[in-house]
Amino acid sequence: MSRAYPEGPPEKVFVPNAPPVPTPKIYKYAALFTLVLQTTSIILLLRVSRTASGVKYLSSTAVAVTEVLKVLICLAVMLVQSGGSVVEVVRSLHAEIWLKPVETLKLLIPAALYTIQNNLLFLALSHLDAATYQVTYQLKILTTAIFSVTMLSKRIASHQWIAVLLLTIGVALVQMPAGTDATVKKKEGNTLIGLTAVIAACFSSGFSGVYFEKLLKSSKTSLWIRNIQLGAFSIIIALAGVIVADWAAVREGGFFQGYNWLTWVVITFHGVGGIIVALTIRYADNILKCFAGAVSIILSCVISYVFLNDFIPTMVFTLGTFMVIVATFVYGYEKPTPTDHVLKP
């Protein structure tokens, strides 16, 4: 496997005579396309798993198990890349993690934020309807753009800022709540808790995502090593969260209480999703990742209408869909001259 970097020639990992690989642009669009499919699937699966009858699984344990799975996936990929050499994998881990403690500790911040963010989103979904949750969570697009400019000194053209604003408005229109007054009154009591949780998650998502992007793109450390570093810290923090929040429930019903085949499917999709997001950040950027998430929301609504028969598209939905599509093309448009007018932070 090889990866291309703008600052130098491709770095080869483990395989000395690696075959040619697709260009970074192909990687970018492949990662974004896969992310859209994964995000759409997980939304539908998570909805079913949290509304199914029976004993509910603890979200804190699901977050911890997801991080364990992500680390195992990365180790498996490294093992394949090394030609099945466990010794080579151990040497790489020792060289990149144990012998570089400062580099490893840099992952503590995003690990903590990602873990907190995942638990905040479970909390938000417990107190908000799906539409309100999805609309509010699109604030991460704006926070990501702002952190990209301030932390990465990324030059975002004026038309791209317009696209970000257009996308946010479009997704808000698509997810405009259409509940009755009775439905609104029923959820009023816990709305503040849910909104606070999802807004906090938006800022966490924006900062941690850009921070992780900076680490990935400022170092030649393997993506899989970075994810193992991130996952190791996340496991520790997630288990601490289980002890603090749900230890009494775990002692009474067990760590895996409420788990069934659907729970494991959700965990698997979440684990794979973490890797896909990391690939997207590596080969694209955080803002494009947010656009992929927005497209997946629209796709989820379409699937709900066609297959689940629990959603009826309106003129507002159609308008929002059009705005998101236009915004996606506007953001990706590159002007032919290098004298683009840009907005500075």
Judged against a pLDDT cut of 80, whether residue 191 lies above it is answered with no
> According to the model, what pLDDT value does residue 145 have?
83
Judged against a pLDDT cut of 70, whether residue 41 lies above it is answered with yes
> According to the model, what pLDDT value does residue 287 have?
65
pLDDT tens, position by position, 210-226: 988 888 777 777 878 88
Judged against a pLDDT cut of 70, whether residue 9 lies above it is answered with no
Give the residue with greater pLDDT, 285 vs 29.
Answer: 29
Give the residue with greater pLDDT, 316 vs 307.
Answer: 316
> According to the model, what pLDDT value does residue 16 have?
38
Q: How far apart are CA 91 and CA 75, in angstroms?
A: 13
Give phi and psi for 148, each to the nearest 5. Answer: -65, -40
Q: Are 149 and 331 in contact (CB under 8 A)?
A: no
> According to the model, what pLDDT value does residue 182 have?
44
- The count of other CB atoms within 10 Å of the CB of residue 175 is 26
**pLDDT range class, residue 68, cuts 50, 70, 90:** very high
**pLDDT range class, residue 21, cuts 50, 70, 90:** very low
Mean pLDDT of the chain: 76
Give phi and psi for 11, each to the nearest 5. Answer: -95, 130
- The count of other CB atoms within 10 Å of the CB of residue 310 is 9
> According to the model, what pLDDT value does residue 19 have?
45
Each residue of 25-55: b (16+ CB within 10 Å) or e? eebbeebbebbbebbbbbbbbbbebbeeeee
Using CA atoms, how far residue 270 sits from 134, 143, 338, in Å, is 17, 23, 40
pTM of the model: 0.70
> According to the model, what pLDDT value does residue 345 have?
37
pLDDT tens, position by position, 249-293: 999 999 999 999 989 998 998 888 766 766 666 666 656 666 776
Using CA atoms, how far residue 16 sits from 3, 121, 156, in Å, is 13, 43, 38
Q: Which residue has the tokens 């749900």?
A: 246
Give the residue with greater pLDDT, 28 vs 20.
Answer: 28
In the structure encoding, which two tokens stand for residue 218, read together? 């400022």
Using CA atoms, how far residue 117 sits from 1, 56, 269, in Å, is 32, 20, 17
> According to the model, what pLDDT value does residue 236 have?
93
Sign of CA dihedral 276, 282, 284, 286: positive
Average pLDDT on 234-253 reads: 92
Judged against a pLDDT cut of 60, whether residue 167 lies above it is answered with yes
pLDDT tens, position by position, 87-145: 999 998 988 888 888 888 888 988 999 888 888 877 777 777 666 676 677 778 778 88
**pLDDT range class, residue 72, cuts 50, 70, 90:** very high
